Amino acid sequence: MSPVLAGVLQMLALVAALALAYRPLGDHMARVYSSTKHLRIERWIYRAIGADPATGMRWPAYLRGVLAFSAVGVLFLYALQRLQGTLPGSLGFASIDPDQAFNTAASFVANTNWQSYYGEQAMGHVVQTGGLAVQNFVSAAVGMAVAVALVRGFARSRTGELGNFWADLVRGTVRILLPLSVVGALVLVATGVIQNFSGIHEVGQFGGGTQQWNGGAVASQEVIKELGTNGGGYFNANSSHPFENPDGLSNLFEIFLILLIPSAMTRTFGRMVGSPEQGYAILATMATVWLGFTALMMWTEFSHHGPAFDLAGGAMEGKETRFGIAGSSVFAVATTLTSTGAVNSFHSSYTGLGGGITMLGMQLGEIAPGGVGSGLYGMLITAIVAVFLAGLMVGRTPEYLGKRIGTREIKFTACYILITPALVLCFTAAAVALPTPADSMTNTGAHGFSEILYAYTSGANNNGSAFAGLNADTQWFNTTLGIVMLLGRFLPMVFVLALAGSLARQSPVPVTAGTLGTQKPIFSGLLLATVVVVTGLTYFPALALGPLAEGLAS
């Protein structure tokens, strides 16, 4: 079987699996966030944290809950790392340095999971399971809660209440993420992913000698890092490590986990606003972008020419032979079009244009299908821009899902769209211009610029993958990337929740003959054009200096 055909078959199997899970999971999540009943374990949690799940929250109170919970998470994870040397199960590892502890705490709380350390050589079992894995769950649940709050803003009228953050957080964790993770971890263990709490031991090498390895609860962390679009990895080699991703079957299952919840949330959205067709329209746009990027990535990696490429059947540098070009390309697109950041190959070694595709996927806002929660609210923000542009074309006040899109809503939308590019481009410019961060580059020219642009793109978009070749374990990068990750995560949430509150206070606008049909294919086409024009072209000058220049020169 040719490698290209194998890639097509993997794509078909992946689409079929996602299609089978789409309705049941999407409907389940809609019921979870619409239910007025609480499980016994949920009531215990509410009593423990002193929250009343029946209390409705306006957007400022909802936002305070998000920020307060996340701030406590940063402080707790920072303290856990700084105290690691005194904790049991530390495997003899020392406490983490202050700048790296801040970077890691900000990274995992912001659902980014950027790692400037070697996981198997720095973090003990307590930090890995009690700190990092816990944040993988709750940071994903926070993103889902914010997305649901925006959906309620569209669904509700003449009220400023968006639900209860604590109830949404607990339900998302207990009823959605935990059950799926248990099942997914069992599947991963069956494919060969390790799950233990062993210490450091000697392992023989094929060429003679030994090497030190430690085990860990890898399967349980691997499943939530993919399912919650967190990224990161128990080992430095991430999802290319055979303990995390043993073979082609586990690779395909992990891609399925990455895309599962973000895709199904479009069904949740359609159910909660009372029109599943609206969810299908959003999903169609996401799927078009994802399929287009995957096809383009395979083309760039398979068709690159030269003696080495011809002998290997394509650009195999930096890719595992057990996954091949197809399995690596599908994984790379899935992880950068979502906010996952897990990698089964090293993006820096892709062709110039291939590396640019991974970067552009993040720069679009990771909305195809995007991160858990963040993909949905990012695409809904873009949909508001699309209906606004359509309204300008016909001279009519724009409406979306029965809500007028006025000056206030457009201001919140514009702020959301502008904040991430501002963070990426300003910090990239500073890192390139200043001598100290520039010393971290092992490459010069276009590729070196791409390394820094990729790092801040990954941080601001809460992706967490790296372009490699950049020494990011410095005070400059640990500090600035930590700041970028926090601002890139929580500033957009401010505008999303403010927008949700503004929409929820409105009275519904009756449908007329002039109302734009946002559930129709023509709107999906308009939305796709908006994604490319409004968000994609923002980064074109920067891309021209890095991956485009490198790709055209090769």
pLDDT band at 304 (very low <50, low <70, confident <90, very high): low
pLDDT of residue 392 exceeding 60, the answer is yes
ω into 369 cis (within 30 of 0): yes
Tell me the average pLDDT across 49-63: 95
Angle of helix 3-34 relative to helix 276-303, nearest 10 degrees, comes to 150
Under the banding of pLDDT at 50, 70 and 90, the label for residue 50 is very high
Domain boundaries, the chain: 371-553
Per-residue pLDDT, 515: 80
> Phi and psi for 123 in degrees, rounded to 5?
-110, 130
- Residue at 96: amino acid letter: I
**Mean pLDDT of the chain, nearest integer:** 91
Q: What is the DSSP letter of 214?
A: E
The rounded percent of the chain whose pLDDT value lies above 70 is 97
Using the predicted structure, report yes or no on whether residue 305 has a pLDDT greater than 70: no
**pLDDT value for 312:** 57
Predicted confidence band of residue 534 (pLDDT cuts 50, 70, 90):
confident
Structure token pair of residue 42: 């949920």
Amino acid of residue 244 = E
Other Cβ atoms closer than 10 A to 421: 18
User: What would the mean pLDDT of 236-254 be, rounded to a whole number?
Assistant: 93
Contact 531, 382 (CB under 8 A): yes
Transcribe 304-324 into DSSP letters. --SHHHHHHTS--TTB-TTTH
Which tokens in the block code for residue 29?
A: 């999540």
CB within 8 Å of 25: residues ≥ 6 apart? 260, 261, 264, 267
Q: Computed from CA positions of residues 525, 530, 536, 541, in that sequence, does the dihedral angle turn out positive or negative?
A: positive
**Can you tell me the distance from the alpha carbon of 153 to that of 159, in angstroms, rounded to the nearest whole number?**
9
What integer pLDDT is reported at residue 134 of this predicted model?
Answer: 94
3-state secondary structure of 470: strand
Q: In Å, how far are 117, 379, 385 from 535, measured between CA atoms?
A: 32, 11, 11
Judge whether 460 and 489 are in contact, CB under 8 Å. Answer: no
List the one residue out of 281, 521, 282, 502 whose CA is nearest residue 403. Answer: 502
In angstroms, rounded to a whole number, what is the distance separating the alpha carbons of residues 468 and 316? 16
Tell me the pLDDT tens digit for each residue of 318-333: 888 899 888 999 999 9
The predicted structure's pLDDT at residue 6: 82
pLDDT in tens, 402-457: 999 999 999 999 999 999 999 999 999 998 888 877 677 777 788 888 889 999 99
How confident is the model at residue 553, as a pLDDT? 76
> What confidence tier does 285 reach under pLDDT thresholds 50, 70, 90?
very high
* 315 has a pLDDT exceeding 60: yes
Average pLDDT (66-78) is 97
